Amino acid sequence: MATDRQIAANRANALRSTGPKTAVGLARSSRNAYRHGFSCPLPSDPVTLAKVDALAQVLAGKQAKGEDLMSASEFAEAQLELLRIRSTRTALISKIEFISLSTQELRRLVALDRYERYAHTKRRRASAKL
């Protein structure tokens, strides 16, 4: 059980650590998840949708309907997301000068790893449903 003094200290710390408060700070932090665009779902343009549908049809079979086709679509989306992440990583690595490597470039590569793990998890879950 926390004492009254600990509760007061926790409340005081919470007031100080609530994130940015200025308009500039709020604007900057609101864009953090969109640096690479991987926090958003795949774009719903006709080309991407056609790729997802074609891959799902191959995975589920021509006559598949309902839940099988939905699982195959989830798998196809995750696979295309993985390909997109890997191509972005390749482009970043090709631009990096390893002699003068900055921490910002390393952070971007680490962020790509996080998105790749998430896409792997989505693909694994979808394949379990198939």
Distance CA 15, CA 52 (A): 46
Q: Does 95 fall in a domain?
A: yes
DSSP letters of 56-68? HHHHH-TT--THH
Q: Does 55 fall in a domain?
A: yes
**Which pair of tokens denotes residue 88?**
């972005």
Q: Does 92 fall in a domain?
A: yes
Question: Which range marks the domain in which residue 66 is found?
Answer: 44-129
> Based on the structure, what is the number of domains in the chain?
1
Q: For the chain, 130 residues long, give each residue's pLDDT as a single digit of tens.
A: 789 999 999 988 888 877 788 888 888 777 766 666 676 777 778 888 888 888 888 887 766 677 778 888 889 989 998 998 899 888 888 887 777 777 877 888 888 888 899 889 989 998 888 7
Please, are residues 82 and 116 in contact by the beta-carbon 8 Å criterion? yes
Q: Does 17 fall in a domain?
A: no
Q: Does 113 fall in a domain?
A: yes
Q: According to the model, what pLDDT value does residue 8 have?
A: 93
Measured between its terminal Cα atoms, the distance across the chain in Å is 48
Rg of the chain over Cα atoms, rounded to whole angstroms, equals 21
Q: Does 120 fall in a domain?
A: yes
Q: Is the pTM of this model over 0.85?
A: no
Q: Does 33 fall in a domain?
A: no
**Which pair of tokens denotes residue 21?**
């408060």
Q: pLDDT tens digits, residue range 101-129?
A: 778 778 888 888 888 998 899 899 988 88
Q: According to the model, what pLDDT value does residue 32 have?
A: 65
